[in-house]
Amino acid sequence: MLPDSITVASETLEIVVPDDLAIDRTQHLDLYWYMLLNRELEERLVNLYRQGRVVGGVYRSLGQEAESVGTAYALRDGDYLTPLIRNLGSILVMGVRPVDILKQYMAKGTGPSGGKDLNVHFGDLEHGFVGPVSMLGDMISVIAGVALAARIRNEDRVCMAYIGDGGFSTGAAHEGWNQV
Ligand SMILES: Cc1ncc(C[n+]2csc(CCOP(=O)(O)OP(=O)(O)O)c2C)c(N)n1
């Protein structure tokens, strides 16, 4: 459960969660379960990488699991997200199976991209997961396009992309913000 207050630089701040935003015990456990799954799966991927069984790299989200899991968990059916390399937790929440993620990282022909691409570079639109391309920043424009399509069709959808400070500094990301 959330604490009632936190202390920052010797100042105590009260935490107030409006009733309609509060999450119940089952949801807390769900969130914790996904964060644990995120961590455990990444640990296994790192071990497989050390054994030379992962093609490409494993980008860790150690200590950042809550960011991926919490944001994806807040989406509804029909919303879309596009992850970055450290957002394995998000696609787990969207319903992608761990076994498919393992096959993808190991470039198996039976994996989601048929062994043609690596790590989180695959998509699953049925689960609201728009597959990312490698170029940092480019997915901001892509997700802006997905949001624009929803607006034109009068569909009530949240469309979410993740970005790091490196990606943030690309021209494509700024072109993307300006489309929204
Ligand atoms: C345009 C572009 N340049 C370089 C890369 C190689 N690359 C992949 S991840 C990465 C680091 C990304 O940093 P940041 O956006 O800050 O995300 P963080 O690592 O902090 O999660 C780089 C340079 C790339 N994919 N695209």
Query: Residue 166 Cα, ligand 1 centroid: separation in angstroms?
Result: 6
* Contacts (Cβ under 8 Å, ≥6 apart) of 46: 58, 60
Question: Phi-psi region for residue 56, left (φ > 0), alpha (ψ -120 to 50) or beta?
Answer: left
pLDDT at residue 14, rounded to an integer:
86
The answer on pLDDT for 17 being more than 80 is no
Atom 20 of ligand 1 has which residue's CA nearest to it? 164
Å from CA of 167 to ligand 1 middle: 6
H or E element in which residue 143 lies: helix 138-152
pLDDT digits (tens, 9 = 90+) for 90-122: 999 999 999 999 999 999 999 999 999 999 999
pLDDT of res. 1: 63
Return the percent helix, strand and coil in the chain, to nearest 5.
45, 10, 45
Q: How confident is the model at residue 74 (pLDDT cuts 50, 70, 90)?
A: very high
pLDDT confidence of residue 38: 98
Residues flanking ligand 1, CB < 6 Å: 85-86, 134-136, 164-167, 170
Task: Please state, in angstroms and rounded to a whole number, the distance separating the CA atoms of residues 94 and 72.
Answer: 7
Fold for domain 5-132? Answer: Rossmann fold (3.40.50)
Based on C-alpha coordinates, what's the Rg of the chain? 18
| Residue 21: pLDDT over 80 | no
pLDDT digits (tens, 9 = 90+) for 115-167: 999 999 999 999 999 999 989 999 999 999 999 999 999 999 999 999 999 99
What single-letter DSSP state applies at residue 116? S
User: Domain extents for the chain?
Assistant: 5-132
Residue 122 alpha carbon to ligand 1 centre in Å: 17
Percent of the chain residues topping a pLDDT of 70: 99
81 within 8 A of 117, measured Cβ to Cβ: no
